[in-house]
Amino acid sequence: MNRSLIKKPVNASRRMVFRIEKWFYKIGLFNTQQLTFPDFLCIGSQKAGTTWLYENLRCHPELFLPDRKELNYFSSKYRFYGLPLSAYSDYFKAAQGVKGEVTPCANLPLGRIRFIRNIIPDLKLILIIRNPIDRMWASALMYLVRAQKKHFEDIKDEEFFKLFNNKDLFSRGEYTKILKNWRSVFPKEQIHICFYHDLLNDPKAFLKEIFLFLNISDQVDWDRFPVSDTFNKSPDHALPAHIKTYLENLYKQSLEEFEEEFPKEVGYWHSDFNRKGR
């Protein structure tokens, strides 16, 4: 593994050099013929089973995924502007079979999405969509309880509300906007949209649809796949009614927009499906 990709670059002149490099790739002055990129990228969503998907895809004999989940090359400005494109390519250059990686980055800015298409035009994308209210609650528990090691009972509502209104965190649940951005750059047939509750209800069928999308066999030894396991689960605390109401109001417009294309899925969310995590 190229450990240089893990380090956070701090040198301003180094970042400028690689900003220029990206621009050269963008205008065609540099080409990517000597570089190796993934064939597919799972772009999220965060707290929607991406770790589960990563662990299962790694078990397929026709697939290659790096040892490290979430390379975050395109989603981290420090890595994107602080490291050459070859550092990302190094993860895949010795790989055989269908290559891919999992980094929840669905809310990337449009310019970054265009850059990805420019260098990997045939890239396939996987987007797992989870009820944005449940997704936000799981993220809040991950950040405040697990990461900051706070006792749930000690967290004030104001702390949750501040986190909910974080622009980046909120945008991860704006699915209509996310789809609009990616679809404006990538053809629809290169984007596989799937739903977290389908993963929970029938994980094998969920995986088979992804295998079909990636054009790999679904005739596998299922005993090798941890389909029933849970990974990276957020702390288990029920969503209080008043916070649920707050989140419903926060995502009201976004949910209404998403329901126009996916009425069945939003209806399922409104049915108060049992909330558990993977």
Residue 11 confidence (pLDDT) = 75
CATH of residue 256's domain is 3.40.50.300
pLDDT digits (tens, 9 = 90+) for 59-98: 999 999 999 999 999 999 989 999 999 999 999 998 999 9
Number of domains in the chain: 1
3-class secondary structure per residue, 8-69 = CCCCHHHHHHHHHHHHHHHHCCCCCCCCCCCCEEEEECCCCCHHHHHHHHCCCCCEECCCCC
In a domain? residue 155: yes
Could you list the beta-strand ranges (E) of 113-236: 124-129, 191-195
**Which among 71, 96, 87, 85 has a CA at the least distance from the CA of 119?**
85
- The residue ranking higher by pLDDT, 2 or 178, is 178
Instruction: Evaluate the CA torsion angle 256, 183, 201, 102 in order and state its sign.
Output: negative
In a domain? residue 275: no
DSSP secondary structure letter of residue 172: T
In a domain? residue 121: yes
pLDDT digits (tens, 9 = 90+) for 212-267: 999 999 999 999 999 998 888 888 899 999 999 999 999 999 999 999 999 999 99
Residue 26 confidence (pLDDT) = 86
* Position 157 pLDDT exceeds 70: yes
- The pairing of strands 40-44 and 98-102 is parallel
In a domain? residue 278: no
Domain ranges, residue 40: 3-270
